Chains A and B, each alone.
Chain A
Amino acid sequence: MRSAKSQRFILGAAGLLGSALFVGLAMRRLDFASVLATWRDARPMPWLLFAVIAYSAGHFVRGQRLRVLVRRDAILHLSTATNVVVVGYASNNVLPARLGEFVRAGMLAERTGMPLSQSLTITLIERLLDGVAILGLLVVGTLSLGIHAGWIWSVARLGALVFGAALAGLFVAIAFPGAVLSVASRLSARLGPKSRDRALSLATGVTTAGASLRRPRDAMAIGGYSVIVWLLEALMFACVLPVFGMKLALASSLVTMSVTNLGILVPSSPGFIGSFHFFCAQALMSQGVPGATAMGYALVVHLAFFVPVTLWGAGAILWYGIQVGATAALAQAAKALPRPATVDGIPMNVIARLEASPASTRAPSAFERSLTETFVASDPMPPDPAAIDAAATFLAEQIDALPGRLRFLYSVGMAVFRVWVRVTQRRSFCVLSVDRRRAVLYPWAFGRITHLRQLFRPVRSTVLLAYYEGERVARTVAPLATIHLPPTLDRHEARRGHG
């Protein structure tokens, strides 16, 4: 087995070779005098400043996306999350072969206490989402410009294949965590306890890391942030166009940005020197820009891409008082699993840390409270608002406790009901009077269509159970009722007393 030192050497050498190759390709048949001429004619201000601002804003959005991704396991301030992202980018600028991704995962593990396998997976998920967003923007840009360059479509197809497969794998890990764990257990059964534990730890890390994407709202937010991040990066590319006398065009920049970022996925030297310039210039040339101008543009965009974030990252590293190596060591310490433990005298091995249990209570929505109020309004007694609130809270909790597929069907059914109410009543269910709500609700809840009745069965039974279990309601319905809780009996006393 190769040592870590030799592995680093091989990675570094491969990166440098890759860069040399792309530098050679970029410089081939290039007229350096023309490039210098375009530089002399360039008007960097204020456009370069705008480009740096747009690029920096993108990092804050990346930070916000990271916060949402780790929300179940850690609370990260936006500044910390952004700095984690920036340190990763800066490290990629000074380390070869995208090793910055590992630095970023290590710092995330250190800042949150998550296992490294989980933070690496989160980093991987971020990059995967980036890839999908970039591909989408590439297709949009290419179609809107009517570019027919075959090699761009080849890049898009290759990207779609790679990211499509990765996305499918991610979907499996997120949707079927139990099955992933089971398969990992079975595949690693013959490897011995240590390897099996590692495999299970890795599988758990992967399935846990994607937990945020199981909640539709978070998944949509994360997807939205991913698109915004790359729109801002495209804006950076667009802002550099006027520096060279070209028109500020977002569609053109979408293509250039997408091709460049897909191109630098290929491991290369620190800062993507060579590969960045080659793909950036080629993308621009495919839109009819002369080679010299395209190369001048690529050099400036790379500076805007490289210098600010590297300085920012260096500052962040100093600010947090860490070194790249120390971060990795801390992450390793956080990993330190499996480890033996004893609970109540029972020997066990801790394999992975799991996401914290979700909160067991939540406030009911206005719709859930309205439903509750409508059902209990049939009671001849005046309704008790506090009991309605308690019953609505119980309803919310019970619906959350339904098995996944029933919860999904319930959500769909309720969405249909609300749309139907909105269409037929021209107002939302919540703002209707109680009598009107009852008139709308009862044909569904007690009508002749079995499936509609079944949709409301958990609601009406849960609401009525909780409402009438309330002490104040019981007193209202039967003021003379008394409920005594006798003192706890010792079992044998009980038997003696009644025997």
Chain B
Amino acid sequence: MRHAVGTGDPGRVQVLVIGSGAGGAVTALELARSGLDVCVLEQGSRWDLGDYGHGSVDAMRRLYRGRGMTPILGPVPIGYVEGACVGGSTEINSGFWHRTPREVLLRYKAQFDLQHASADELAPHFASAEELLDVGPHDGPLPKSTEVFARGVRAMGWAAQEVPRAAPGCQSTNACATGCPTGAKQGMSRAVIPAAKAAGARLVSDCSVRLLLAHRNRITGVLAELSRDGGRRDLVRIDADHVFVCGGPTEGPALLRRSGIKHHVGDSLRVHPMLKVAAQFPERIDAHESVLPLLQVKEFWPEISLGGAFFTLGHLGLVLSENWNETSRHMSRYRNMASYYVAVRGSGRGSVRPSLLGDGAPVVRYELSDEDTMNLSKGLARLATLLLAAGATHVHPTVQNLPTIRSEVEAVRWLDERLPRSALSLTTVHAFSSCPIGERRDRCAADSFGKVHRYENLYVNDASMLPDSPGVNPQASVMALARRNAIHFRESLR
């Protein structure tokens, strides 16, 4: 049943969802299943499985926002990537699945007065998403890169877990970051968008929303650039009764601010800064031929997490590039190497602003805090200790002028000393909290269910709504909260 609620004007869309990532796809699915007329606008292109898994260079051209050249600016620049294709970042992530920890949800309640988001209240939403994505443990034998990591974990006696993934039947093609070519990983384009379309949702790709058109306290529609065949582009206006902004933690707030909606929008970005290392072992690891390491050390959570990173020959070159004049000779040993990371919760704060010059693309800044630096230093010490205890002979961190750590004594130095900030070469794939939700109007851009303050029909429903850093891979948190908000929206219409 279409047009159950709304103006019923055939020239208007009832619900417009901007973005098709973890937030947008779930929103579209839930609302389409309710019989609402849903249209999804995706800035990126639509790709088939045959287009996936062709290496990092090809993936950066096709699947990554700004070809992967979207650094976060600040005193310590951070390399940041996110997806820009149908399915968003879920097409290029590892599929790791963490329910939002109870402690984090309690923090959201205490600091942002986020209502109806306790662990019990979110449990059915997590369960629904887990069923949809077939979340579970890795099916086959653990890859060698995980085995050696587990050896280190045992040697250190630390708490660790094998992280469940949304990748049933994973064949260890080592292509998570370039789009899973087998279709085992359940990105949104594989698992959710087809279901949303089957329920009646429509999707337009290559459609970049430039502005939300507001009249008083209502959004009347959007202004978008639509790319057509043959390179032609049109500026189009799409009228809508309700608009969900699900463009991700950087594009979403940039769009809102370009449209004049600025109340606590883009002021409180959080990230999980990550420091990578390449570890060299005496035995063959062949990390380039297997799925990334599946264990994560939780002993030091929530401040510090240790885990495994995507590994190819090219990515090894990238990790070693910080001290290339000293580390390049290790490239030939790459069959004996694997990549790991230390990630910190991120207590610094960032901002997202549309650039004044040019087309208003997001300018993202983050101020790495002293606490972040301290946690990264301690994390590196612990990760290096773990890897050396596991038998690694060399640990190469992405720290300038620190090409190699060879002994546990060298490693533990960083428990007491801080890595020089100017020497850090950081990356992140987790950004959020740029439009926090909650009842605290002095801190939040939207209410507990994502309705943007001061607007009757505008919602945020993606990673930007997380009030604060979750300390874990955010996909599950985003999907659960997005489903909860969509259901609440549907019920509020009735």
A402 in complex: contacting residue of B56, B69, B183, B288, CB < 8 Å? B69
> Which residues of A lie under 8 Å from residue B317 when comparing CB positions?
464-465, 467-468
23 residue pairs of the A-B complex, CB under 8 angstroms, read A175-B357, A189-B215, A343-B236, A345-B202, A349-B236, A350-B234, A352-B234, A354-B233, A357-B227, A379-B328, A401-B67, A405-B355, A405-B363, A446-B324, A465-B318, A467-B314, A478-B313, A481-B288, A486-B171, A489-B182, A491-B184, A494-B182, A494-B183
Q: Count of chain A residues with Cβ under 8 Å from any Cβ of B? A: 90
Q: Considering only CB atoms, which chain B residue lies closest to A203 in the complex?
A: B235
Encode contact with B along A480-491: 1 for CB under 8 Å, 0 otherwise: 011111111111
One of B114-122, B331-339, B408-416, B477-485 contacting the partner = B331-339
B39 in complex: contacting residue of A189, A193, A346, A484, CB < 8 Å? A346
B282 at the interface (CB under 8 A from A): no
A130 at the interface (CB under 8 A from B): no
One of A82-90, A413-421, A455-463 contacting the partner = A455-463
Given A182-B260, A485-B53; A469-B313 close (CB under 8 Å):
yes
A178 touching B225 by the CB < 8 A rule? no
Interface of chain A residues 334 through 363 with chain B (CB within 8 A):
338, 340-341, 343-357, 360
B70 in complex: contacting residue of A403, A491, A493, CB < 8 Å? A403
Supply 6 further A-B pairs (C-beta < 8 A) apart from A346-B204, A461-B321.
Answer: A196-B213, A356-B232, A477-B313, A485-B173, A489-B169, A491-B186
Closest 4 CB pairs of A and B: A494-B169, A178-B360, A464-B317, A469-B314
How near does chain A come to B77, taking the closest CB pair, in angstroms? 7
B492 at the interface (CB under 8 A from A): no
B71 at the interface (CB under 8 A from A): yes
A356 touching B211 by the CB < 8 A rule? no
A179 in complex: contacting residue of B182, B226, B227, B360, CB < 8 Å? B360
> Which residues of A lie under 8 Å from residue B164 when comparing CB positions?
none
B39 touching A473 by the CB < 8 A rule? no
Encode contact with B along A395-411: 1 for CB under 8 Å, 0 otherwise: 00111011111100000
CA distance A182 to B357 in the complex (A): 13
A351 touching B211 by the CB < 8 A rule? no
> Which residues of A lie under 8 Å from residue B183 when comparing CB positions?
488-491, 494
A489 touching B184 by the CB < 8 A rule? yes
Given A348-B238, A460-B321, A481-B289; A178-B232 close (CB under 8 Å):
no
> Which residues of A lie under 8 Å from residue B203 when comparing CB positions?
344
B61 touching A360 by the CB < 8 A rule? yes
A181 in complex: contacting residue of B204, B223, B324, CB < 8 Å? B223
Encode contact with A along B203-224: 1 for CB under 8 Å, 0 otherwise: 1100000110111000010011
Q: Which of A378, A468, A469, A485 has the most CB of B within 10 A?
A: A469
B211 in complex: contacting residue of A181, A346, A446, CB < 8 Å? A181
Given A356-B231, A453-B400, A491-B190; A486-B238 close (CB under 8 Å):
no
How near does chain A come to B189, taking the closest CB pair, in angstroms? 12
B12 in complex: contacting residue of A200, A347, A461, A488, CB < 8 Å? A347
B347 at the interface (CB under 8 A from A): no
B358 at the interface (CB under 8 A from A): yes
B358 in complex: contacting residue of A178, A343, A352, A485, CB < 8 Å? A178
Q: Considering only CB atoms, which chain A residue lies closest to B260 in the complex?
A: A186
B8 at the interface (CB under 8 A from A): no
Q: Considering only CB atoms, which chain B residue lies closest to A377 in the complex?
A: B328
B20 at the interface (CB under 8 A from A): no
B49 at the interface (CB under 8 A from A): yes
A379 touching B182 by the CB < 8 A rule? no
Given A346-B204, A403-B66, A464-B321; A353-B234 close (CB under 8 Å):
yes
A465 touching B56 by the CB < 8 A rule? yes
B237 in complex: contacting residue of A351, A406, A473, CB < 8 Å? A351
B211 touching A177 by the CB < 8 A rule? no
